[in-house]
Amino acid sequence: MSKTWMVVALGFTLLVVGHGIGLFAAPPEAMMGDVGRILYAHVPTAWVALLTFLGAFICAIGVLWTGKLAWDAAMEAAVEVGVLLNAMLLIQGAVWAKPTWGVYWTWDPRLTSALVMCLSFAAVLVLRSLVHQVKRRMTLSAVATILFFVNVPVVYMSVKWWNSMHQEMSSPETVDATMVLPLRIAAFGMLFLAIGLCMARGRLALARLRREDGAPDLPERPQALDLDSGAPHA
Amino acid sequence: MSPLPLQAQLLAVLRKDLLVEWRGRSRAIGVVIYALILLLLLSFAIGPDTRALQAHAAGYIWLTVLTASTLLLAQSFTNEVEGGALEALLLLPTSPVALYYGKALANFGVLFGLSIATVAFGVVLCDLSLDGSPWTLLLVLALGCGGLAAPGTLYAGLTVRTGAQQLMLPLLMFPLVVPSLLAAVKATALCFEPDVMGQLGSWLGVLAAFNAVYWALCGVLFIKVVDE
Amino acid sequence: MLDGSIEGGWGYVITVYGFTWFCLVAYTASLVTRLRKDPDA
């Protein structure tokens, strides 16, 4: 257990350092000025969100391949942490967009596919709460996770095509050398933090799943009362 | 009894499903009527401005087809489950491949019919005129419906006994079909207006790729899932 | 105007960082609490 919290603490520490440098020591961005410092919060969140969902995808394959609860717990954790990071990145992005692009939202391929990704995996979490049978829930959410993850690049490409008639919004693609260091530190910070949070959340999920697996199954569906037959009903 | 060859099994499943659909055709007709009413509602929501309707007709048509498709797809496996037929089918030497693809093709057929009815109604309501070959339009409709049938059949099978299928099927399908929807709407729109920049080909390409990926992937996943 | 100066720039920066840290800390705290309460974890 303490291993988990050490990873989390490491993550937070690196993040503090990365953000600290980014906010106070690094130079302001050439075009955006100080608003460009949002980079150190936004970009690590985006990278790690995608990596977390990749982790969920791998766990989903593990679920289908082995049927073991541990994979299901890890998948549940990764999806939840991923959705958190994804929601964060969308809001960070919207706030960043207001001063730089003038609007909160555009149909930029990255932003749009991030939104679809967030809603998809949020749907997986909802699905998990709707299905009460452990085996069925595991299978359904694994299949959905796999399909939704495969969908991410497809959505990205199609929105890019869809948008190609309109002007692409510019965003900092190349990062200045002086900004690379805090960005990298913050990215590693976010990565360790996400791993630690997944470990913790996974533990919680596994405990719950083990308890559920031990409990008797709920009936399939409530049986309609048969009042006409005259026979005593169950 | 040795199992039939794969194509024969597939055709048997396809034929059975279409026959069942035909015998219960009042339900399918009901879904078509639902779709037409939905299209009407969308048109009312936009208003009687013919130009606005024409500009976005393709969008309304596909939204209608998508929404109605969940109703059609949901009952894909219901017939099997009630009466324990699913277990019976799986005990028989029916390969899961044949089961999935047979059902998916049957669903595709019904969806295709639905889309034709919806487009026809849309042409009338929004005063559209075809620019180019009707075969191209049919191809677009076929590819669009294919993109719905493949994942829809898989998800229908997975959610059939969960009790909250009405909510789950749309939640699962809608985010997945975003690329297909984009491409289908764009391609459909280009069938009704002059394709000045020659984009129809690339949208058809997107649709074809989407179909190729999902017909293959969903089949694989179905086989994996059924092996329990 | 993307010319290196945006008014109220720091306001946006503080909002984003504040929001980010709030989410991360709150989620971590909720996990800590839930793990403490769970006898099996």
**Model's pTM, two decimal places?**
0.86
Report the gap between the CA of A179 and the closest CA in chain C (Å): 16
What is the rounded average pLDDT of the residues A96-101?
Answer: 87
- The predicted-structure confidence for B73-102, as pLDDT tens digits, reads as follows 988 887 777 655 566 666 666 788 888 999
For residues B61-70, b (16+ Cβ closer than 10 Å) or e, as one string? bbbbbbbbbb
Average pLDDT over chain B reads 87
Residue A167 neighbours by CB distance under 10 Å: 8
Confidence of residue A234 (pLDDT cuts 50, 70, 90): very low
Q: Give A37's DSSP letter.
A: G
Residue C14 pLDDT more than 70?
yes
The answer, for A99 touching chain C at a CB cutoff of 8 Å, is yes
The answer, for A197 touching chain C at a CB cutoff of 8 Å, is yes
Q: How far is CA A211 from the centre of its chain?
A: 26
Residue B71 pLDDT more than 70?
yes
State the pLDDT at residue A5. 93
Q: Identify all chain C residues contacting A1, using CB atoms and an 8 Å cutoff.
A: 35
State the pLDDT at residue A70. 96
Chains touching chain C through at least 3 C-beta pairs below 8 angstroms are A
| Structure-token match 């969902």, residue found | A53
Q: State how far the Cα of C10 lies from the Cα of A36, in Å rounded to an integer.
A: 10
**Cross-chain Cβ contact A8/C2 below 8 Å:** no
What is the rounded average pLDDT of the residues A128-143?
Answer: 91
Average pLDDT over chain A reads 87
Q: Which amino acid belongs to residue C13? A: V
Confidence of residue C35 (pLDDT cuts 50, 70, 90): very high
- CA-to-CA separations, B179 to A2, A20, A162, B182, C21, in angstroms, rounded: 44, 40, 9, 5, 34
Q: Identify all chain B residues contacting A148, using CB atoms and an 8 Å cutoff.
A: 175-176
Q: State how far the Cα of B119 lies from the Cα of B117, in Å rounded to an integer.
A: 6
State the pLDDT at residue B146. 96
Report the gap between the CA of A171 and the closest CA in chain C (Å): 11
The structure tokens listed for A12 are 């937070």
- The predicted-structure confidence for A48-73, as pLDDT tens digits, reads as follows 999 999 999 999 999 999 999 999 99
- The predicted-structure confidence for A139-177, as pLDDT tens digits, reads as follows 999 999 999 999 998 888 888 878 775 445 555 556 777
What is the rounded average pLDDT of the residues A111-133?
Answer: 92
Q: How far is CA A109 from the centre of its chain?
A: 18
Q: State how far the Cα of A230 lies from the Cα of B136, in Å rounded to an integer.
A: 62
% of chain C with per-residue pLDDT over 70: 83
- The predicted-structure confidence for B37-62, as pLDDT tens digits, reads as follows 999 999 888 878 888 888 899 999 99
Confidence of residue A26 (pLDDT cuts 50, 70, 90): confident
| Structure-token match 């995996």, residue found | A121
Q: Domain limits at C25?
A: 1-41
For residues C14-38, b (16+ Cβ closer than 10 Å) or e, as one string? ebbbeebeebbeebbeebeebbeee
State the pLDDT at residue A167. 45
Q: Which amino acid belongs to residue C22? A: F
Q: Identify all chain A residues contacting B178, using CB atoms and an 8 Å cutoff.
A: 116, 151, 155, 158
Confidence of residue B173 (pLDDT cuts 50, 70, 90): very high
**Cross-chain Cβ contact B172/A162 below 8 Å:** no
Cβ neighbours of residue B46 closer than 8 Å, sequence gap 6 or more: B52, B53, B56, B60
% of chain A with per-residue pLDDT over 70: 87
State the pLDDT at residue B33. 92
The answer, for C31 touching chain A at a CB cutoff of 8 Å, is yes
| Structure-token match 């499903």, residue found | B17
Helix or strand run (H / E) with residue C3: none
The number of distinct structural domains making up chain C is: 1
Confidence of residue C1 (pLDDT cuts 50, 70, 90): very low
Residue B31 pLDDT more than 50?
yes
Structural contact between residues A74 and A63, judged by C-beta atoms closer than 8 angstroms: no
Q: State how far the Cα of A176 lies from the Cα of A182, in Å rounded to an integer.
A: 11
Report the gap between the CA of C18 and the closest CA in chain A (Å): 10
Q: Identify all chain A residues contacting C34, using CB atoms and an 8 Å cutoff.
A: 204
What is the rounded average pLDDT of the residues B5-15?
Answer: 87
Cβ neighbours of residue A228 closer than 8 Å, sequence gap 6 or more: none
State the pLDDT at residue A43. 92
Residue C28 pLDDT more than 50?
yes
State the pLDDT at residue B86. 61
Report the gap between the CA of B22 and the closest CA in chain A (Å): 28
State the pLDDT at residue C6. 63
From the candidates C3, C14, C15, C31, which should be mutated to test the interface with A, based on the most A CB atoms within 10 A? Answer: C31
Report CA torsion sign: B108, B110, B113, B119: negative
Residue B129 pLDDT more than 50?
yes
| Structure-token match 């960082």, residue found | C17
Long-range own/partner contacts, residues A126-129 (CB < 8 A, 24 or more apart): A126/B171, A127/B168, A127/B171, A127/B172, A128/A76
What is the rounded average pLDDT of the residues A207-233?
Answer: 71
SS3 B90: helix
Q: How far is CA A197 from the centre of its chain?
A: 12
ipTM: 0.86
Alpha-helix residue ranges (DSSP H) falling in chain A: 2-20, 39-66, 69-101, 109-130, 134-163, 177-214
